[in-house]
Homo-oligomer: A and B are copies of this chain.
Amino acid sequence: MQRRAVILLSGGLDSSTVLAIARERGFECHALSFAYGQRHEAELRAAARVAHSMDASHRVARVDLPWSVSALTGAVDVPKGRPVKEMSVGIPVTYVPARNTIFLSYALSLAESIGAIDIFAGMNAVDYSGYPDCRPEFLAAFEATARLGTKAGVEGACITIHAPLVRMMKADIVREGARLGVDYSLTLSCYDPQGETPCEACDSCQLRALGFRDAGLIDPAVRAA
């Protein structure tokens, strides 16, 4: 039987590339997205498109964080047009308290429920500079928690959190996705899109644009200038 994996899929560039990587490694892929009060549901539609394009099942879990104060959930404005070098200073206002811990916990619950011990997530070296819950040491600690806190783990299953992008730069991610045939026209990375159209000014849009530029590729999700 094909081994199953759970893939955290936001519908953006990184997680879509991770889905392609998990698929290439031979896993039966079960994508998981979250409705957590983010400003827009366009990213959930992107996630559904991406999952469908790679023959993955797709689930959306609703995550209720009424206390969350973050630009991603509408409490503060998304910063626009700030220089890239400022993005790696401090923790951004788009940080959602304990968000990745919650997302990985849900992934763990789904994994155990479907008999999977592999969880893939798209944390990467760019996020790493700002978000505490994107760092390798956080992921290692969560993996230890997962092994100790589940029936599967206690019975000896080697539950593994795969973060194949964690030490890659955006351009490397774009190249890897291109090699794997990811259709980036289906993805949406923007923190604050108008409908399905990225703003091209938030941190996420800017980092994506730089990634495509440095990889020498055209982003098919952005209108020709």
> How far apart are A92's CB and chain B's nearest CB, in angstroms?
10
**A97 with B151: CB separation less than 8 A:** yes
- Write the chain B residue with the least CB distance to A136: B148
A158 to chain B minimum Cβ distance, whole angstroms, is 15
Contact, CB under 8 Å: B64 / A149: no
Restricting to A167-185, which residues have a CB under 8 Å from any CB of B? Answer: none
Residue numbers of A with Cβ under 8 A of B are: 59, 61-69, 91, 95-102, 105-106, 108-110, 112-114, 132-133, 135, 137-138, 141-142, 144-146, 148-151, 153-154
- The smallest C-beta distance from A84 to any residue of chain B, in angstroms, reads 21
Q: Is the interface of A mostly helix, strand, loop or mixed?
A: helix
Of chain B, the residue at the smallest CB distance from A140 is B148
CB-CB under 8 A for A145 and B151, given A61-B66, A105-B102: no
Q: Which residue of B lies closest to A70 (CB)?
A: B113
**Contact, CB under 8 Å: B151 / A91:** yes
- Check if B105 sits within 8 Å of A98, measured CB to CB: yes
Residue of B nearest to A30 (CB): B67
Asked if B149 contacts A113 (CB within 8 A), the reply is: no
Enumerate chain B residues within 8 angstroms of A154, measured Cβ to Cβ.
Answer: 91, 132
What is the chain B residue whose CB lies nearest that of A130? B151
Contacting residues, chain B, for A141 (C-beta < 8 A)? 141, 144-145, 148-149
Can you list 16 contacts pairing A with B, beta carbon distance less than 8 Å?
A62-B62, A63-B64, A67-B113, A68-B109, A91-B151, A97-B108, A97-B109, A98-B150, A102-B105, A132-B150, A132-B151, A133-B148, A133-B150, A135-B148, A138-B145, A138-B149
